[in-house]
Amino acid sequence: MPSRQEQSGYPCPQCRQSRLFVRTINEASHLAHGLVTLFLCGLWLPIWLMAILSQSVSEWRCTACGFAYERFPPIVPQRQQRPEALAEANGRRRCAACGREALAVTECGEVVYTCSACGRLG
């Protein structure tokens, strides 16, 4: 039986991070079984049906630690963030006075945002 792998990202409870998960799917070769069934005038059809019924799908397994979901991995909704929150997470912020981008500067171990246009701290 030919096999293929599927990959997807899911949260791993063991790693406590979002990780790459893989699973293997073993499938029957429908082209080969179809040709043999035609060649043998349908005598191969029960064997083909057994091959279809015996297809297997392995569990989703974490590529980092090997944790496996027994059934289905959880569906994790993507968090919607405001553009301001995304900009702040990337180290960017807008100046409250002029609206231009403020630059992050580290002073005495703290991050201070300074506007590049008007020079105000924010």
- Mean pLDDT per block of 10 residues along the chain (122 residues) reads 81 86 85 92 91 82 88 60 50 70 67 71 62
In a domain, 70, yes or no: no
pLDDT of amino acid 45: 93
**What dihedral angle (degrees, nearest 10) is formed by the CA atoms of 85, 88, 92, 94?**
60
User: Domain range holding 99?
Assistant: 83-115
Do residue 58 and residue 88 come from a single domain?
no
What total of structural domains would you count in the chain?
A: 2
In a domain, 58, yes or no: yes
In a domain, 75, yes or no: no
Do residue 12 and residue 54 come from a single domain?
yes
pLDDT, tens only, 46-70: 998 988 888 777 888 989 999 988 7
In a domain, 72, yes or no: no
In a domain, 78, yes or no: no
pLDDT of amino acid 2: 73
